């Protein structure tokens, strides 16, 4: 037997679903706005990666602007560049 470990491809939809199930706080990078990110908890999504975010807030990366609480929002999938768990 070889010591090589098999790699399994993880589907992106499964990662999003895991964040939804665990109610993890996520940070979403936006496609056209590099200075702002959205933070919140995913409570729903569809096959187009449209995402419903609860407890959403705008976070400004470079500016010292305060975070702006948005509440519950629907973010269209075309605007999403990256979704990561918040630290």
pLDDT (tens digit, 9 = 90+) per residue, 55-74? 999 999 887 889 999 999 99
* Contact criterion met (CB below 8 Å) for 56 and 70: yes
Task: Give me the domain span that covers residue 22.
Answer: 12-85
Q: In this predicted structure, what is the pLDDT of residue 2?
A: 61
pLDDT (tens digit, 9 = 90+) per residue, 17-59? 999 999 999 999 999 999 999 999 999 999 999 999 999 999 9
10 Å Cβ neighbour count for 27?
15
Q: Is residue 43 part of a domain?
A: yes
Distance between start and end Cα atoms, the chain: 39
What predicted TM-score, i.e. pTM, was given to this entire model?
0.85
Q: Is residue 7 part of a domain?
A: no
Q: In this predicted structure, what is the pLDDT of residue 5?
A: 82
Q: Is residue 67 part of a domain?
A: yes
pLDDT (tens digit, 9 = 90+) per residue, 75-84? 999 999 999 9
Q: Is residue 74 part of a domain?
A: yes
In this structure, what CATH number is given to the domain that contains residue 80? 2.30.30.100
Q: Is residue 3 part of a domain?
A: no
Q: Is residue 68 part of a domain?
A: yes
Where helices occur in the chain by DSSP H, the ranges are 12-22
Q: In this predicted structure, what is the pLDDT of residue 87?
A: 83
Q: Is residue 6 part of a domain?
A: no
> How many domains does the chain fold into?
1
pLDDT band at 1 (very low <50, low <70, confident <90, very high): low
């Amino acid at each position: 037997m070889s010591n090589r470990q098999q790699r399994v491809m993880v589907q992106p939809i499964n990662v999003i679903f895991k964040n939804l199930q665990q109610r993890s706080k996520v940070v979403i990078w936006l496609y056209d706005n590099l200075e702002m990110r959205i933070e919140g908890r995913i409570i729903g999504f569809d096959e187009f990666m449209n995402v419903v975010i609860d407890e959403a807030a705008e976070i400004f990366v470079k500016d010292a602007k305060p975070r702006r609480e948005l509440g519950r929002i629907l973010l269209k999938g075309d605007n999403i560049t990256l979704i990561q768990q918040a630290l």
